[in-house]
Homo-oligomer: A and B are copies of this chain.
Amino acid sequence: MGYKIAVLGATGAVGREMINVLAEYQIPVDELKLLASARSAGQTVPFAGKEIVVEEAKEDSFEGLDFVLGAVQNPMAVKFAPAIVKSGAVFIDNSSAFRQDPDVPLVVPEINGADAFAHKGIIANPNCSTIITMVAVGALAKLSPIETMVASTYQAVSGAGQGGLEELSRQLDDLHEGRAPEAKTFPAQIAMNVIPYIGSYKGNGYTTEEMKMQNEGRKILHLPDLRVTCTCVRVPVMRSHSISVTLRTKEKISVDQAKAAIAAFPGAALMPADADRDWPTPLDTSGQDTVYVGRIREDLTDEKGLTLWCCGDQVRKGAASNAVQILKLLTE
């Protein structure tokens, strides 16, 4: 009585984590198919006590499946989406290819889980920084519509996949051994540095990554007029993203109201619920699914503003866990 599930892009950082989370969430899996490029085919990955051989993804790989969890880049997601939809499987896609498609729900289960049920074969998993920020501010948006947000991110290298994780490790080794670090995955040295450029420019001076916070935030929160000024910055941290957010709501929300709402919101945790400090750090929040929120205080520039700090694991809640949570929602 389980499901037939494929992970498309099973050997990357997010794909591997999806496999872990399927097991951890005890999703009833009858068959797990691991798909990747021809280059990765033949590798084996352990799941539920067995070694599963990774197969090359092909148009006919999806017959008979219930769900496909996508952890591939946009071109591969676009290439395989028609075959997945035609097979009758639901494609829960972590790429950004379909996020703005009006026929594709863009879902953070704690916020707009109901949207998932209106799918036409594809459900999009939002951008990682956007998911983490939305879980942090979702409780506030329910108290009063958010009108504007100014966000500056502190994004872990895991956001660039396995290559990002390897690059930071390699550069730190290089520095330790007295070698000049080489930048391959990132556009500058990331070890002992920060890089205020993620994605690519699109004409208004913002990067593609920065515009996701506004454009995906609008769709997730059902706030089509939300305006967001975002600055996305890569920092030499392995897995968890952090975001400094200043937001203005239609009606004033007090700091105490905000704290109570965030503490009660599923998926979020208010610091210091069980800590002696009110500021989460990326290291505190890696390897789990909760978005930790702290430093909640009045925005000194606007009487209807609040400012806060949040951290969450980019690979998990920012990608793999959110996708598996969407799958779980559809099976309950």
Residues of A within 8 A of B (CB): 148-150, 152, 154, 172-173, 175-176, 187-189, 192-197, 204-206, 214, 227-229, 231, 233, 235-238, 242, 244, 246, 248, 255, 277, 279, 281-284, 294-302, 305, 307, 309
**List of B residues within 8 angstroms of A233 by Cβ:** 154, 242, 244
Report the Cα distance A227→B246, complex, angstroms: 14
Whether A237 contacts B297 in the complex (CB less than 8 A), given A150-B150, A205-B255, comes out as no
Q: What residues of chain B lie closer than 8 Å to A255, measured between beta carbons?
A: 205
Main secondary structure of the interface of A (DSSP, over half): mixed
**With contacts A188-B283, A229-B301, A298-B204 known, is A194 near B242, CB below 8 A?**
yes
Complex: A281 Cα to B198 Cα, angstroms = 13
5 more CB-based (< 8 A) A-B contacts, given A148-B302, A205-B296: A150-B301, A172-B176, A192-B238, A193-B282, A197-B295
Contact in complex: A205, B242 (CB < 8 Å): no
Bound-state Cα–Cα, A189 to B154, Å:
16
A-B contact pairs, 24 of them (CB 8 A): A150-B301, A152-B152, A152-B244, A154-B194, A172-B175, A192-B238, A195-B279, A195-B281, A196-B242, A196-B244, A197-B279, A204-B297, A205-B298, A227-B300, A227-B301, A228-B300, A229-B246, A229-B299, A231-B295, A231-B309, A233-B242, A235-B235, A235-B236, A236-B237
Chain B hits for A307, CB < 8 A? 150, 229, 231
Q: How far is the CA of A299 from the CA of B187 in the complex (A)?
A: 25
Q: Identify the closest chain B residue to A189 (Cβ).
A: B283
Taking CB atoms, residues of chain B closer than 8 Å to A205 are: 255, 295-298
Measured CB to CB, the nearest residue on chain B to A187 is: B277
Taking the full assembly, how many copies of this chain does it contain?
Answer: 2
Flag if B194 contacts A279 (CB, 8 Å).
no
* Cα-based distance from A196 to B195 in the complex (angstroms): 18
**Nearest CB in chain B to that of A157: its residue:** B192
Chain B contacts of A173 at CB under 8 A?
176
Q: Are A309 and B193 in contact (CB under 8 A)?
A: no
Chain B residues whose C-beta falls within 8 Å of the C-beta of A176 in the assembled complex: 172-173, 176
Rounded to whole Å, the gap between the CB of A248 and the closest CB of chain B is 8
Does the CB pair A301–B193 fall under 8 Å? no
* Other-chain residue from B150, B248, B296 in contact with A246 (beta carbon distance below 8 A): B150
Contact A196 B282 (CB under 8 A): no
Q: Closest chain B residue to A201 by CB distance?
A: B278
Cβ-closest chain B residue relative to A173: B176
Q: Is the CB of B279 within 8 A of A196?
A: yes
- The one of B148, B172, B231, B242 in contact with A172, judged by C-beta atoms closer than 8 angstroms, is B172
CA distance A206 to B301 in the complex (A): 13
